[in-house]
Structure 1
Amino acid sequence: MGEMLIGTCSWTDKALVASGWYPPGRRDPEGRLRHYAERFPVVEVDAGYYALPSVRNSMLWAERTPPGFRFDVKAFSLLTGHPTRTAALPADLRGYGAGDPELLDEVWHRFGAALRPLEEAGRLGAVLFQFPPRFTPGPGAEAVLHRTRKRASRWPMAVEFRHPDWWREDRRERTAALLRDLGATAVAVDTAQGLPTSMPPVTPVTSPALGVVRFHGRSAAWGTGSKEDRFRHAYDRAELREWLPRLRCLASRVEQLHVLFNNCCGDAAVRAAETLRGLLEPHEAAAPRVAGVRGARTTGRAVPRSW
């Protein structure tokens, strides 16, 4: 049975900070991260999507967390083909056109430099490449994935698709085979079902080293509306209990499983993470402050499929 690390997709979300989950005296940047890391062993740096992370911040994150703690870093929007505001770029890069190859090269370089302190400290869990809904299956998309993997060759790579066709029943094996060939982890998701943008609740295993599950909430506004509308959902025990067999199956087939809650509305994500941990047996979920844990590394070894 692999380690199951449970956490959330942000520790700095404004709604979480405003919720009162952080106690008095621990609401500054250092106090928040130390408080979070005492309670959970993994977190996603979702801010990396909105702006390039910095070397200094990565150094501080490594210093403020214990051995065994893991940061999954979400790739900057420009690296996954999302619209990127000019203001999100460093000031010295704002004169480039959006499609300028020199801009892309420099952004990749700076993104990689910012991850290095986490790598060197053994804190980097995975780099999440979440592709937009318009990223549909086909030769062009597959070529993009191969180019992305080449750029990200030294990192554990996790891939989340937002177009449901990638995991439709008649294409699942091809998608899984593609990710296995890339040595990348397929990200499983929990979202509202029955909507045009709903992702199938499949749990493919494409890397024996790492599994990732992201709980986005079950809002009927998934795929539409504001960010708050899309992610406003409080998981109840019954909804989380549905996932226990799947999580246990995944954990039995990978070295490490990251389970992350992205329903970042108030303290809903941290409460769901705490509830899920309580539903598991004590030995199933890794406790915070785990020392001496080696980072999960993805490989290209084939593994059996799991839907």
Structure 2
Amino acid sequence: MGDILVGTCSWTDKALVGSGWYPVGRRDAEGRLRYYAERFPVVEVDSSYYALPGERNSRLWAERTPDGFVFDVKAFSLLTGHPTRAAVMPHGLPADARDPGVLDEVWALFTQGVAPLRQAGRLGGVLFQFPPWFRPGARAEAFLEDSARRTEGWPLAVEFRHPAWWREERAEATRALLARYGMAAVAVDMTQELPSSIPPVTPVTSPRLAVVRFHGRSAAWGTGSKEDRFRHGYGEAELVGWLPRLRALAERVERVHVLFNNCCGDAAVRAAESMTRLLGSRGSAPPARARTASSGA
């Protein structure tokens, strides 16, 4: 039976910092991360989507967290086909993913940036979150193949934002595609009332890792401000409904990462605390490690 690690999709979100969740004296960069890591065993780095991660920051993150703590690092926007601001491109490179030279250099810098986490055994996974226009087809499959080649040996997770990938008639082909490259499929919890809604399927495509991201159930998904899109406080009944699926995933993989992305105030950390309690906390520190174990363990 695998571990179920529960955390959130950011520990530096302005709304979280302003919510009062971090106590006085623990609100600087080092204090926040240490405080968070005392309570949860995993966190997602979302800043790496907006700007390439740096080796110094990665080294500090590893130094400031306890053994067993892991970081899921979101791939830089250019590496997943999202629009990228010229201002965040290194060395004055154009924000053009179609240029092989640009892509090679950005990949090299991303690899360097996460190297301290890999070397310290703290890289829980690299998240490829693809845009809504990334549809099934030959071009998308070639993109995935290239990404897998560049990250051979890394723990990878893929979140599709186009619902066609997981519709009933396509789901098995998608599962087989990700399994071919050892990429973990990301399951999502979100509102199911929109044409763009991703079905809450939980396929297993890697023996190492499964990831579930809870985006909240706001009907403003895809529109409005960030606060509108992610404003949702999970009730206990909504979380309890996921327990059988999370435990079923843990029966089949080494680790399940459960990450709350409803980053509006302290909603994500409160949901993560509740999910940890519902799963039952066992085993060694960090205390929020929820281990589902066979009898006698």
TM superposition score normalised by structure 2: 0.94
Matched, 1:288 2:281: no
Take 2:95 and 2:202, find their aligned partners in 1: how far apart are those partners?
40
What is the SS of the residue equivalent to 1:216?
strand
Is the alpha carbon distance of 1:96 and 1:46 closer, same or farther for their aligned partners in structure 2, counting shifts above 3 Å?
Answer: closer
Range that drifts further, 95-104 or 181-190: 95-104
Q: What is the identity, as a one-letter code, of the residue corresponding to 2:43?
A: V
Match of 1:79 in 2: 79
Match of 2:56 in 1: 56
Alpha-carbon deviation of 1:99? 3.6
Take 2:248 and 2:98, find their aligned partners in 1: how far apart are those partners?
42
Alpha-carbon deviation of 1:152? 1.3
Match of 1:12 in 2: 12
Match of 1:146 in 2: 145
Take 1:95 and 1:79, find their aligned partners in 2: how far apart are those partners?
13
User: Is the contact made by 2:135 and 2:162 (CA closer than 8 Å) also made in structure 1?
Assistant: yes
Match of 2:128 in 1: 129
Structure 1: stretches of 5+ with no match in the other structure: 292-307
User: Is the contact made by 1:40 and 1:287 (CA closer than 8 Å) also made in structure 2?
Assistant: no
What is the SS of the residue equivalent to 1:266?
coil
What is the SS of the residue equivalent to 1:187?
strand
Q: What is the identity, as a one-letter code, of the residue corresponding to 1:125?
A: G
User: Is the contact made by 1:68 and 1:289 (CA closer than 8 Å) also made in structure 2?
Assistant: no
Alignment of 1:49-198 (within 5 A): 49-90=49-90, 92-94=91-93, 99-198=98-197
Structure 2: stretches of 5+ with no match in the other structure: 290-297
Q: What is the identity, as a one-letter code, of the residue corresponding to 2:215?
A: H
User: Is the contact made by 2:10 and 2:45 (CA closer than 8 Å) also made in structure 1?
Assistant: yes
Is the alpha carbon distance of 1:197 and 1:287 closer, same or farther for their aligned partners in structure 2, counting shifts above 3 Å?
Answer: farther
Alpha-carbon deviation of 1:15? 0.4
Take 1:97 and 1:71, find their aligned partners in 2: how far apart are those partners?
28
Q: What is the identity, as a one-letter code, of the residue corresponding to 1:253?
A: R
What is the SS of the residue equivalent to 1:177?
helix
What is the SS of the residue equivalent to 1:247?
helix
Take 1:233 and 1:183, find their aligned partners in 2: how far apart are those partners?
32
Match of 2:46 in 1: 46
Take 1:277 and 1:88, find their aligned partners in 2: how far apart are those partners?
36
Identity %: 70
Alpha-carbon deviation of 1:151? 1.0
Q: Deviations over 1:75-120 (max 9, x none)?
A: 0000000000111223x23456564322211110000001110011
How many residue pairs were aligned?
289
TM superposition score normalised by structure 1: 0.91
User: Is the contact made by 1:6 and 1:286 (CA closer than 8 Å) also made in structure 2?
Assistant: no
Alpha-carbon deviation of 1:278? 1.2
Match of 1:218 in 2: 217
Take 1:124 and 1:273, find their aligned partners in 2: how far apart are those partners?
20
User: Is the contact made by 2:281 and 2:287 (CA closer than 8 Å) also made in structure 1?
Assistant: no
Alpha-carbon deviation of 1:70? 0.4
Match of 2:272 in 1: 273
Q: What is the identity, as a one-letter code, of the residue corresponding to 2:286?
A: P
Take 1:68 and 1:206, find their aligned partners in 2: how far apart are those partners?
23
Take 1:88 and 1:217, find their aligned partners in 2: how far apart are those partners?
29
Q: Deviations over 1:135-186 (max 9, x none)?
A: 0001111111101111111311100000000000011100000000011100
Alignment of 1:227-246 (within 5 A): 227-246=226-245
Take 2:127 and 2:100, find their aligned partners in 1: how far apart are those partners?
22
Match of 1:21 in 2: 21
Alpha-carbon deviation of 1:205? 0.4
Is the alpha carbon distance of 1:122 and 1:141 closer, same or farther for their aligned partners in structure 2, counting shifts above 3 Å?
Answer: same
Q: Deviations over 1:179-234 (max 9, x none)?
A: 00011100000010120110001000011111100000000011222222111111
Take 2:110 and 2:158, find their aligned partners in 1: how far apart are those partners?
17
